């Protein structure tokens, strides 16, 4: 993974050439880069063979979904109105196996030795969006992932029609027991 310094080096060169006008732009870019660096993108579920068996991540974990933007942009220039309100829920980890109850059924994923995990929980209903509900989206999933060691992650209400993009928010994980 690139260091933050190496990612912003080209921006520093621009500021030095353009003067103070670009200082604000550099600051904004630095904030975006550092926020993106805080949450790794765990694009697939951890394999059972890679799960942690040390017990270091075992316990009940509280997922704190932070306030997010009410309007978010999706591929194809779609704008989605999201419920950006904060929320909390919990899941359990034991012997590298993470479990959460979803629609009355126990769902399972694995936690890696470094703390990475990813849940993908399908939502069976369709959702009507757009003015007057003219666009029906099917294939929604609740996806949340992150790293229990650094307690950061992401929560997304993902749509298949948008390649898994959707309403997303930053999360923090707090061990309750």
Could you report the per-residue pLDDT of 65-95, keeping only the tens digit for each? Answer: 999 999 998 888 888 889 999 999 999 999 9
Q: Could you tell me where the beta strands, DSSP code E, fall in 66-115? A: 71-74, 78-81, 87-94, 97-102, 105-110
d(CA 21, CA 32): 19
Using CA atoms, how far apart are residues 95 and 64, in angstroms rounded to an integer? 23
pTM of model > 0.75: no
Q: What's the length of the chain?
A: 177
Q: Over the stretch 88-134, which tens digit does the pLDDT of each residue have?
A: 999 999 999 999 999 899 999 999 999 999 999 998 755 555 544 55
């Amino acid at each position: 993974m690139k260091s933050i310094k190496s990612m912003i080096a080209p921006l520093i060169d621009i500021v030095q050439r353009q003067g103070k006008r670009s200082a604000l732009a550099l600051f904004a870019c630095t904030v975006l880069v550092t926020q993106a660096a805080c949450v790794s993108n765990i694009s697939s579920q951890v394999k059972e063979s890679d799960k942690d068996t040390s017990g270091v991540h075992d316990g009940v974990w509280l997922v704190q979904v932070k306030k997010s933007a009410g309007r978010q942009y999706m591929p194809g220039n779609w704008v989605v109105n999201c419920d950006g309100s904060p929320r909390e829920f919990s899941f359990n980890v034991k012997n590298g196996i993470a479990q959460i109850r979803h629609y009355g059924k126990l769902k399972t994923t694995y936690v890696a030795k470094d703390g990475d995990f990813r849940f993908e929980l399908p939502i069976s209903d369709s959702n009507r969006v757009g003015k007057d509900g003219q666009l029906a989206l099917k294939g929604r999933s609740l996806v949340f992932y992150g790293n229990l060691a650094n307690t950061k992650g992401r929560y997304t209400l993902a749509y298949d029609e948008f390649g898994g993009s959707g309403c997303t928010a930053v999360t923090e994980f707090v061990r309750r027991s």
